[in-house]
Structure 1
């Protein structure tokens, strides 16, 4: 079998050099054009798995590979240059800067013309075009998330990683964000996402990973996991 485009394989590790392991042989992967979703109960290690893939946590065992290249030893900054776009759950915008300035900051590693990518972001999130001169901190929660995702897209990443993109937004805004994420994946960009709203996230997922205590408990397509009696009973409320 050909290896996945992005894979965090058999990841074991925790925070700090002497901290306990939070991840235990955890594997997550995503292919071009796919949406892969990591779900599970609180404290399952979902965001930790995402941070491990992005290099914010040192692995004691396992590896991370992007497009066939082993990037396990690279810093988060180096991984961005290799093509990772990462949107953290918190503090993911520059509140005092305008929407447009936030997007420009996303393109800091680029030396080519960013105008076309800016237009693509505005086409994806039309409200940002309308509010491009407004301070990002004045926007609604959903609009701020659009700024954060747009800023990650400005790097022209090879893969987009989203940590709890719908945290704290209304169900209507969540549906809109998920629609945009589907649009992004349809362009061929792989999307790896951690999400608390498990049922809704699995409904749009090509692939799903249910983590429990930092380990893979269930893996399958979104439809398979939604239909799995054990997953439904344990994680989806029956």
Structure 2
């Protein structure tokens, strides 16, 4: 069997010289798929994604992108290989305009970025309207759109989102999820950590339930939503 497009396989590791937070944890996503990591607070969800992105030490296991091992690469090198990462907080330059934020996202590119910027504005029309406004003045949902748009400016093959709907209203959450589905339809792989587990699994091709840094349940979003144990333990019945 060929590897998925991106896989963090049997990852064990933690931050610096600290204890292991992940224990033989495996996370994977294929081309154009949406994979969602859910689980209780402190389960290691964001840590697993950061491990895939190279932000902590993977002491055993491996990360592979498009068949190539990238376990030893820095996050910057992974961006150059086609990975985009949107952290949960501090993910925009508040004093810069929306358009300047998007331009900053294209820092590794040497070609004409205007076409990609138009694609971002088509995906998030409100950003076109507010392109000259300081990003820090926008609503929470609009700031998240700026953060996702900026990551898309690198033309990533994989887009990684850490709690993209944290702190936004249910209406804004639904709209963000709709845009995420649109991004996946262009062939970009989406790997996402979400607290809104039920809604996230509804749009997920793959779901990973983590507990204490280990894989507890893995399956399609539909299968996990239908699993009585997952429903009882993680989805409120």
| Fold agreement, TM-score > 0.5 | yes
Q: CA deviation at 1:2?
A: 1.1
What is the TM-score when the length of structure 1 is the normalising length? 0.99
Alignment of 1:29-40 (within 5 A): 29-40=28-39
How many Å separate the matches in 1 of 2:119 and 2:11? 35
Q: Which residue of 2 aligns with 1:218?
A: 217
Count matched residues: 237
Q: Point out where structure 1 has 5 or more consecutive residues left out of the alignment.
A: none
1:143, CA displacement in angstroms?
0.1
Other-structure match for 2:4: 4
Distance 2:103 2:67 in 1: 30
Structure 1 residue aligned with 2:23: 24
Distance 2:44 2:154 in 1: 27
- State how far apart, in whole Å, the 1-side matches of 2:130 and 2:181 are: 23
Runs of 4 or more, structure 1, over 4 Å off, are: none
Following the alignment from structure 1 to structure 2, what is the Cα–Cα distance between the partners of residues 92 and 121? 17
Q: Which runs of 5+ in 2 are unaligned?
A: none
* 2:131 paired with 1:132: yes
**C-alpha distance in 1 between matches for 2:54 and 2:167:** 26
Q: What CA RMSD, in Å, does the superposition of the two structures yield over aligned residues?
A: 0.4
Aligned equivalent of 1:67:
66
Within 5 Å, give how 1:111-130 maps onto structure 2. 111-130=110-129
In the superposition, the TM-score normalised over structure 2's length comes to: 1.00
C-alpha separation between the residues in 1 aligned to 2:201 and 2:157?
22
Q: Which residue of the partner structure matches residue 185 of structure 1?
A: 184
Shift of 1:231: 0.1
Deviations 1:54-108 (A, max 9, x none): 0000111011111111110011111101110000001000000000000000000
How many Å separate the matches in 2 of 1:135 and 1:66? 35
* Residue equivalent to 1:149: 148
1:109-157 C-alpha deviation (Å, 9 max, x unpaired): 0000000000000000000000000000000000000000000000001
3-state SS in 2 of match to 1:193:
strand
In structure 1, the residue matched to 2:99 is: 100
